[in-house]
Protein backbone atom coordinates (compact mmCIF):
# COMPACT_ATOMS: atom_id res chain seq x y z
CA UNK A 1 0.00 0.00 0.00
CA UNK A 2 1.01 3.58 -0.64
CA UNK A 3 0.67 6.75 1.41
CA UNK A 4 0.44 10.05 -0.43
CA UNK A 5 2.16 13.05 1.17
CA UNK A 6 0.69 16.11 -0.53
CA UNK A 7 2.14 19.59 -0.20
CA UNK A 8 0.52 22.79 -1.42
CA UNK A 9 1.76 26.19 -2.55
CA UNK A 10 5.21 27.47 -1.65
CA UNK A 11 6.32 24.28 0.07
CA UNK A 12 8.77 23.70 -2.80
CA UNK A 13 10.70 26.52 -1.12
CA UNK A 14 10.86 24.67 2.21
CA UNK A 15 14.33 25.20 3.68
CA UNK A 16 14.72 28.49 1.82
CA UNK A 17 11.67 30.61 2.62
CA UNK A 18 11.24 32.14 6.08
CA UNK A 19 13.57 29.62 7.76
CA UNK A 20 12.86 31.25 11.13
CA UNK A 21 9.30 29.93 10.74
CA UNK A 22 9.70 26.79 8.63
CA UNK A 23 13.28 25.70 9.37
CA UNK A 24 16.18 24.92 7.05
CA UNK A 25 15.27 21.39 6.06
CA UNK A 26 13.82 20.67 2.63
CA UNK A 27 11.00 18.46 1.38
CA UNK A 28 13.68 15.94 0.37
CA UNK A 29 14.74 15.83 4.03
CA UNK A 30 11.10 15.35 5.03
CA UNK A 31 10.78 12.44 2.61
CA UNK A 32 13.94 10.78 3.95
CA UNK A 33 12.75 11.05 7.58
CA UNK A 34 9.28 9.74 6.71
CA UNK A 35 10.74 6.72 4.88
CA UNK A 36 12.58 5.76 8.09
CA UNK A 37 9.30 5.19 9.95
CA UNK A 38 7.30 3.49 7.19
CA UNK A 39 5.79 0.17 8.15
CA UNK A 40 6.89 -2.90 6.16
CA UNK A 41 4.90 -3.23 2.98
CA UNK A 42 4.05 0.47 2.92
CA UNK A 43 5.52 2.95 0.47
CA UNK A 44 5.08 6.69 0.11
CA UNK A 45 4.85 9.27 -2.65
CA UNK A 46 5.93 12.81 -1.81
CA UNK A 47 4.26 15.41 -4.02
CA UNK A 48 4.16 19.20 -4.13
CA UNK A 49 2.32 21.69 -6.32
CA UNK A 50 1.67 25.39 -6.30
CA UNK A 51 -1.59 24.75 -8.18
CA UNK A 52 -4.85 24.09 -6.37
CA UNK A 53 -6.23 22.01 -9.26
CA UNK A 54 -3.20 19.73 -9.20
CA UNK A 55 -3.74 19.07 -5.49
CA UNK A 56 -7.41 18.28 -6.21
CA UNK A 57 -6.38 15.92 -9.06
CA UNK A 58 -3.89 14.09 -6.82
CA UNK A 59 -6.57 13.63 -4.15
CA UNK A 60 -8.87 12.13 -6.81
CA UNK A 61 -6.04 9.84 -7.94
CA UNK A 62 -5.56 8.81 -4.30
CA UNK A 63 -9.09 7.36 -4.28
CA UNK A 64 -7.66 4.46 -6.29
CA UNK A 65 -3.97 4.62 -5.46
CA UNK A 66 -3.48 5.58 -1.79
CA UNK A 67 -4.29 3.94 1.54
CA UNK A 68 -4.07 7.28 3.32
CA UNK A 69 -3.10 10.89 2.82
CA UNK A 70 -0.83 13.23 4.75
CA UNK A 71 -1.52 16.75 3.55
CA UNK A 72 0.08 20.10 4.21
CA UNK A 73 -2.14 22.28 2.03
CA UNK A 74 -0.10 25.43 2.73
CA UNK A 75 -2.22 28.53 2.26
CA UNK A 76 -4.97 26.43 0.60
CA UNK A 77 -5.73 25.28 4.15
CA UNK A 78 -7.38 28.60 4.81
CA UNK A 79 -9.06 29.18 1.46
CA UNK A 80 -9.92 26.01 -0.39
CA UNK A 81 -13.39 24.51 -0.33
CA UNK A 82 -12.25 22.57 -3.43
CA UNK A 83 -9.51 20.75 -1.50
CA UNK A 84 -12.00 20.03 1.31
CA UNK A 85 -14.55 18.65 -1.16
CA UNK A 86 -11.91 16.45 -2.80
CA UNK A 87 -10.86 15.08 0.60
CA UNK A 88 -14.51 14.42 1.44
CA UNK A 89 -14.58 12.14 -1.61
CA UNK A 90 -11.58 10.18 -0.26
CA UNK A 91 -12.73 7.43 2.08
CA UNK A 92 -9.51 6.52 3.85
CA UNK A 93 -7.53 8.28 6.64
CA UNK A 94 -6.32 11.86 6.25
CA UNK A 95 -3.84 13.63 8.52
CA UNK A 96 -3.34 17.41 8.18
CA UNK A 97 0.12 18.77 8.94
CA UNK A 98 1.38 22.31 9.48
CA UNK A 99 5.05 22.87 10.13
CA UNK A 100 4.40 26.07 12.05
CA UNK A 101 1.91 26.56 14.87
CA UNK A 102 -0.75 28.28 12.81
CA UNK A 103 -2.70 29.17 15.98
CA UNK A 104 0.14 31.37 17.17
CA UNK A 105 0.20 33.30 13.89
CA UNK A 106 -2.11 35.69 12.03
CA UNK A 107 -5.81 35.13 12.68
CA UNK A 108 -6.45 34.23 9.00
CA UNK A 109 -4.38 31.10 9.61
CA UNK A 110 -6.56 29.99 12.52
CA UNK A 111 -9.31 28.56 10.37
CA UNK A 112 -8.77 25.42 8.32
CA UNK A 113 -11.28 24.05 5.80
CA UNK A 114 -9.25 20.83 5.69
CA UNK A 115 -9.68 20.26 9.44
CA UNK A 116 -13.40 19.69 8.81
CA UNK A 117 -12.32 16.43 7.16
CA UNK A 118 -8.96 15.49 8.68
CA UNK A 119 -8.84 12.55 11.10
CA UNK A 120 -5.88 14.19 12.84
CA UNK A 121 -4.26 17.63 12.80
CA UNK A 122 -0.66 18.42 13.68
CA UNK A 123 0.75 21.95 13.94
CA UNK A 124 3.93 23.46 15.27
CA UNK A 125 6.12 20.34 15.46
CA UNK A 126 8.28 21.46 12.54
CA UNK A 127 8.96 18.78 9.97
CA UNK A 128 8.65 16.14 12.71
CA UNK A 129 4.92 16.65 12.22
CA UNK A 130 5.13 14.78 8.91
CA UNK A 131 6.93 11.89 10.60
CA UNK A 132 4.27 11.74 13.34
CA UNK A 133 1.55 11.80 10.67
CA UNK A 134 3.13 8.91 8.74
CA UNK A 135 3.46 6.90 11.97
CA UNK A 136 -0.18 7.55 12.76
CA UNK A 137 -1.31 6.47 9.29
CA UNK A 138 0.73 3.28 9.60
CA UNK A 139 -1.00 2.58 12.93
CA UNK A 140 -4.45 3.28 11.51
CA UNK A 141 -3.77 1.14 8.45
CA UNK A 142 -2.47 -1.75 10.57
C1 LIG B 1 1.71 26.05 6.65
C2 LIG B 1 0.95 27.19 7.34
C3 LIG B 1 0.12 27.96 6.33
O4 LIG B 1 -0.60 29.01 7.01
C5 LIG B 1 1.03 28.60 5.30
O6 LIG B 1 0.27 29.26 4.32
C7 LIG B 1 1.95 27.61 4.67
C8 LIG B 1 2.55 26.57 5.50
C9 LIG B 1 2.67 25.32 7.63
O10 LIG B 1 3.16 24.25 7.25
O11 LIG B 1 2.95 25.82 8.72
O12 LIG B 1 2.27 27.70 3.48
O13 LIG B 1 0.77 25.09 6.16
Burial of 76 (0-12, 13-18, 19+ CB in 10 A): buried
pLDDT in tens, 42-66: 999 999 999 999 999 999 999 999 9
Residues with CB under 6 A from ligand 1: 10, 72, 74-75, 77, 98-100, 102, 109
What would the mean pLDDT of 6-32 be, rounded to a whole number? Answer: 97
Judge whether 22 counts as a catalytic residue.
yes
For the CA of 72, the closest atom of ligand 1 is: 13
Query: How long is the chain?
Result: 142
Residue 142 has pLDDT above 90, yes or no: no
Q: At what angle do helices 27-36 and 128-141 cross, to 10 degrees?
A: 40
pLDDT in tens, 88-134: 999 999 999 999 999 999 999 999 999 999 999 999 999 999 999 99
What would the mean pLDDT of 79-89 be, rounded to a whole number? Answer: 98
Structural fold of domain 2-141 = Rossmann fold (3.40.50)
For the CA of 123, the closest atom of ligand 1 is: 11
Query: For residue 71, what pLDDT band results from cuts at 50, 70 and 90?
Result: very high
The pLDDT assigned to 92 comes to: 98
Which residue is closest in CA terms to ligand 1's atom 6? 75
Nearest Cα neighbor of 46 from 60, 26, 22 is: 26
Per-domain residue ranges of the chain: 2-141
**Out of 4, 98, 113, 130, which one is annotated catalytic?**
98
Amino acid sequence: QTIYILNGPNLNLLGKRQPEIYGRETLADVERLCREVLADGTDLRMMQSNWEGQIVDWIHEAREAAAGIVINPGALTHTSVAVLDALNAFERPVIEVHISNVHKRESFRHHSYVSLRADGVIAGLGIEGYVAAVRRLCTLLG
